[in-house]
Amino acid sequence: MFRLRKPNIIPVNDHIWLMDDHKAATCCLVAGHEAAMVIDTSIGVSNIRETARSLTDLPLICVNTHGHRDHMGGNWSFDRAYMNLADLPLAERTIHSSEIAEELKQNGFRYPAFEHIEDGHVFDLGGLEIEVMYFPGHTAGEIILLDRTDRVLFTGDGILEHLWLQMPESLSVRAQINSMEKLLPLRDSFDTILHGHCQQPFGMELYDTMFAALRDLEAGNTADDIDYEWRTFVSRAHPYQPNDRRIVYKEQPVCDTL
Ligand SMILES: [Zn+2]
């Protein structure tokens, strides 16, 4: 029998919550006066819509930060879901070939059609606006979301302690730096970062230290870099402080398709 589990709910303030899916991924719920946004839905073995429903009665808008399974796998609990369709091939891989998707299908769950989300789009939740920014690097279709009222940036896998740029769908270190530079003019618009695997809020130092480490890596300061193994990928990791953070990158430089 297929059994769904319940995420841990962690309040950030009186209208933003983290939904930690037992460290598989962390989804966020942001409620305005008229609508609420669910950001990511984890791997698919929790009913994220039901969890959000336990916190708000408002209409729910589901937005995916990118197309990896651990962020969009639970989209089946929604009738529609937004995503930058540059990541559609990744999402379709989950829908058509993952073991979890097959189990969900056998139990009558269906994924919704994805709706494309544009760079600069603003969702009006009623007294609270959420702005979409394309943030290519971890994947080509990664987006981040800015809530200027709460001064919160939702970063998915775009800004976090261990940045993964080593996967086939990842772009170059330079592409990630370009995305980080896009945020510079908005530097004073947020002071809290909630990423797609966090159990608590982070401050601006997460952005600042990762940005510095990326520039250090691009400058060729790789003497302390180490091998990094994940599945069959051969890659390297660039460690930086605090707390032994790292940027994982491809051993061979690649040309971006963007
Ligand atoms: Zn990811």
Q: Distance from the CA of 160 to the center of ligand 1, in angstroms? A: 11
Q: Distance from the CA of 214 to the center of ligand 1, in angstroms? A: 18
- In this prediction, residues 176-187 reach a mean pLDDT of 97
Q: Residue 256: pLDDT band by 50, 70, 90 thresholds?
A: low
Question: Does residue 253 register a pLDDT over 60?
Answer: no
Q: Distance from the CA of 161 to the center of ligand 1, in angstroms? A: 13
Strands 114-116 and 81-83: parallel
Q: Distance from the CA of 164 to the center of ligand 1, in angstroms? A: 8
pTM summary value: 0.95
Question: Does residue 258 register a pLDDT over 70?
Answer: no
Phi/psi-derived region of residue 130, left when phi > 0, alpha when psi is between -120 and 50, beta in every other case:
beta
Q: Distance from the CA of 172 to the center of ligand 1, in angstroms? A: 15
Q: Residue 252: pLDDT band by 50, 70, 90 thresholds?
A: low
Q: Distance from the CA of 142 to the center of ligand 1, in angstroms? A: 8
Question: Does residue 242 register a pLDDT over 60?
Answer: yes
Q: What is the pLDDT of residues 85-121, one digit of tens each?
A: 999 999 998 888 777 778 888 888 889 989 999 999 9
The least confident of 130-144, 148-162, 232-246 is 232-246
What does the domain layout of the chain look like in residue ranges? 8-221
Q: Distance from the CA of 153 to the center of ligand 1, in angstroms? A: 17
For residue 68, give the nearest of 39, 103, 43, 97 by alpha carbon: 43
- Decide which of 5 and 82 is more confident: 82
- In this prediction, residues 181-209 reach a mean pLDDT of 97
Q: Distance from the CA of 70 to the center of ligand 1, in angstroms? A: 7
What pLDDT was estimated at residue 106? 86
Question: Does residue 12 register a pLDDT over 70?
Answer: yes
Question: Does residue 42 register a pLDDT over 60?
Answer: yes
Average confidence score pLDDT of the chain: 93
Q: Give, in words, the CATH class of 8-221.
A: alpha beta
